[in-house]
Amino acid sequence: MYADNDPVVITHARALLADAPGVTAVPADLRDPGRLLTDPAVRTLIDFDQPVAVLMVAVLHFLDDAEDPWSAVDACKAVMAPGSHLVLSHVTGDGSPAEAIRQAAEVYEHASAPGVARTRDQVARFLAGLDLIPPGLASPAQWRNPHPPRPRRPLLFYAGIGRKPATAGQGTA
């Protein structure tokens, strides 16, 4: 199931998925997780009583702090069955020069969505209550290679996978 708040993207996704059984695209916005999670097409396709994988890859940094993206993610985690996984990636400014962060923010000021770089601790909050899968919240390169060469550039993204434990509240993230 793919969700997007851009009607053009949904139309294109539906065209691409037209001949793919068991797959759909729905118009939805992560800012309204209740509507997304109760959408009839979503509920028909996904049984949240069974373990699922929810991918929030390159999306959370388009929600600013005032939109409380942590609550949106918590709403999704709440309906996931134990054994489910949350996969995410998020832009960061950790280790980047302040001027580079300022310039990136300036570029996104006039975009259709903000671009919010968050710290490691802020990104880790999205995985709170989940058991982190090794290597934990790390650079995407560490997910491909646990011992990548030292980066020549600042870290741009964090990526992580958390597994919902059998008993809520026992996670280690």
**In a structure prediction context, what are the per-residue pLDDT tens digits for the chain, which is 173 residues long?**
999 999 999 999 999 999 998 999 999 999 999 999 999 999 999 999 999 999 999 999 999 999 999 999 999 999 999 999 999 999 998 887 778 777 777 777 777 777 888 999 999 999 999 999 999 999 888 888 767 666 666 788 999 999 999 975 555 55
Select from 69, 51, 61, 64 the least CA-distant residue to 91.
61
Tell me the residue type at 37. Answer: L
Q: Which CATH architecture has domain 51-173?
A: 3-Layer(aba) Sandwich (3.40)
Structure letter (DSSP) for residue 70:
H
CB of 77 closer than 8 Å to CB of 87: no
3-state secondary structure of 88: strand
Token pair 């802020």 is found at 122
What CA–CA distance (Å, rounded) separates 94 from 23? 36
CATH 3.40.50.150 placement within the chain? 51-173
pLDDT at 152: 65
Contacts of 29 (CB under 8 A, 6+ apart): 3, 5, 35, 36
